[in-house]
Amino acid sequence: MVSEMTPTRRVMAAVLGGRVDYVPPANPLAQTTTELMQICNASWPKAHFDSKMMADLAAAPYEVCGIEAARPQFDISLEAEVLGCKLDWDKPDRPPVIGPAYTDPSNVTWPDNLEEAGRIPVVLGAIEELRTRYDGMLPVIPLLTSPFTIASHIAGVENMAKWTKTAPEKAHAFIEAATDFVIAYGKLQTIYGAHIVFLADPSASGDLISAETYREFVLPAHKRIAKEISCPQILHICGDTSKLLPYIKQSGIDCFSFDAVPVSYCRQVVGNEMSILGSLDVIDLMPNGTPEQVYNRTRECILQGADIVGTSCGLSFGTSLENLRAYVRACKETQIPKCDDVEDLIRQIGIGIGKNMRENVLGGMKE
């Protein structure tokens, strides 16, 4: 076993397909739980406007629970705000976009100096603070909202869904403008010290668009980002992306973070063409499960082929520190299966689940 890897070296190796000593618990999804916010004296909405508080809250999962990643920027609306959308800051957590800002893609514009635009300097300051504070030892993985989601914000979700069918040139033009912006902002994040960028494209969910729509409208944007931003990238898409996977693996992005897709199926479809990150349920398991259940599910993810274990979406505020620590402990204690053994291990897990059901649910009844 390799020993003494730093968290940064470990997660960079995992994302890029290298060797690691254990599967990193490097969750880049939002982890702003109530307990973590209390421990580092963070609050809404101040954490969205204060670089020091943003850095403290981004580092809290590592400092308190050992989660090996720091993710500054806690909302997916910053990019739309810089492009002209209004946000609802009266919400108790992350600000949503109130409504679209454009009807014509040729009018989409943003300030020449992005380093000074909106809340971008706050995020860049947090990235710089984290990079300096940990001397590069802890991977800094800032959020970068992706083009289809930004286009849906600035043009309207329903409009974008409609235009992919009725006005494809208009839909393409909005996505192209959003892609230009994402690449410019992503390059800034890299310059300020991001080790990896975390691309969130929830509007491209397989629950909202078809595989054909992803291939025609979204995939070209993801390919441009993979080509034009220099640091490694993780792409997250919510919901059931099983039908999108054959196209996602063509994106050139290094790692895919998924939601409602079995780990073994994701591994099987993407093969070794990209790393995979997933997938602890945030609806029931993380807020309501026991530490033992979280530990066992984390172990399952590793044995079924996950290169990194993280959550399926942002954590709910009520997720306990005990469950977060159980997830970290399972990553460190589970031996990584050899690639050739993954299918056999999946079968063994299936046998184990069946045995457990007979013993605990059916009272040891034999067939």
Q: Which residue has the higher pLDDT, 367 or 154?
A: 154
> Is pLDDT of 366 > 80?
no
Over the chain, what is the mean pLDDT? 93
**Structure confidence at residue 13 as a pLDDT band (50, 70, 90):** very high
pLDDT value, residue 367: 36
Mean per-residue pLDDT, 231-244: 97
What are the helix (H) ranges across the chain?
7-16, 34-39, 51-60, 78-82, 120-133, 147-155, 157-166, 168-192, 211-213, 219-228, 245-248, 263-270, 285-288, 291-303, 321-333, 342-360
* Domains of the chain with bracketed CATH: 7-336 (3.20.20.210)
Kindly give, in sequence order, each residue whose CB lies less than 8 Å from that of residue 46, ignoring residues fewer than 6 positions away: 53
Strand partners, 256: 235, 276
Can you give the pTM of this predicted structure?
Answer: 0.92
- For the cut 70, the answer to whether the pLDDT of residue 345 exceeds it is no
pLDDT digits (tens, 9 = 90+) for 273-325: 999 999 999 999 999 999 999 999 999 999 999 999 999 999 999 999 999 99
Question: Is 50 exceeded by the pLDDT of residue 362?
Answer: no
**If you average pLDDT over residues 133-143, what whole number do you get?**
98
* pLDDT tier at 93, thresholds 50, 70, 90: confident
327 Cβ neighbours under 8 A, 6+ residues apart: 25, 27, 67, 280, 294, 295, 298, 309
The answer to whether the CB of 77 falls within 8 A of the CB of 48 is no
pLDDT at res. 365: 45
Q: Is 95 left (phi over 0), alpha (psi -120 to 50) or beta?
A: beta
Looking at the predicted structure, is the pLDDT value of residue 232 above 60? yes
24-68 tens-digit pLDDT:
999 999 999 999 999 999 999 999 999 999 999 999 999 999 999
